[in-house]
Amino acid sequence: MAHSHNHEVCIENAVEEAEKICAERGSRFTDLRRRILTMIWQGHKAVKAYDLLDQLATQGGSAKPPTVYRALDFLMEEGLVHKIESLNAYIGCPHPGSDHVSQFLICDVCGIVEEVSSDALGKAVSSAAAAQSFHIKGQTLELHGICQNCNGKKQAA
């Protein structure tokens, strides 16, 4: 992901894709679900549930935590967002509607999370597990480090 880009386009695409996917599956993309998805897509950083609750409160909404968690569960089930367990936060999926393994590159400096989808890496993990007769139900790798942009700043300084 380029550091400077028109992020409005990212948000528009994400919401459009979500609408399409939910319509195809007959899932209800309610107003709250749309608002939460848009909030998660406010940047390329993972967003915590309580930040969503705070924002909903300032927007004059009266969404209760269970309602927000249900909306998040829905978005995850539909593959529109992923949970980053190591941050206990949520990030929008850049390619929802496709079956994919996810590896997340998480910058510990600026907080940007980039989702990569390496089939080769996915297969390597699967075969390592198969060697132990271990059946994987899902795999998500969370890799912490420093992104290109933050690394460049460090070297320039």
Contacts 24+ apart (CB under 8 A), 17-24: 17/80, 17/96, 17/97, 18/78, 18/80, 18/96, 20/97, 21/78, 21/79, 21/80, 21/96, 21/97, 22/78
Q: Stretches 18-26, 31-39, 63-71, 139-147: which one binds Zn ion (CB under 5 A)? A: 139-147
109 binds Zn ion (CB under 5 A): yes
Q: Which of 60, 111, 59, 119 is nearest to 90 (CA)?
A: 111
Binding mask 55-74 for Zn ion (x = CB under 5 A): --------------------
Report the DSSP beta bridge partners of residue 47: 90
- Residue selected from 87, 93, 105, 113 as contacting Zn ion according to rule CB under 5 A: 93
Q: Stretches 14-22, 49-57, 62-70, 147-155: which one binds Zn ion (CB under 5 A)? A: 147-155
89 binds Zn ion (CB under 5 A): no
* Site size toward Zn ion, by CB under 5 A: 9
Q: Stretches 7-15, 20-28, 62-70, 135-143: which one binds Zn ion (CB under 5 A)? A: 7-15
**Between the CA of residue 60 and those of 40, 53, 57, what are the distances in Å?**
18, 11, 5
- Residue selected from 49, 76, 110, 125 as contacting Zn ion according to rule CB under 5 A: 110
125 binds Zn ion (CB under 5 A): no
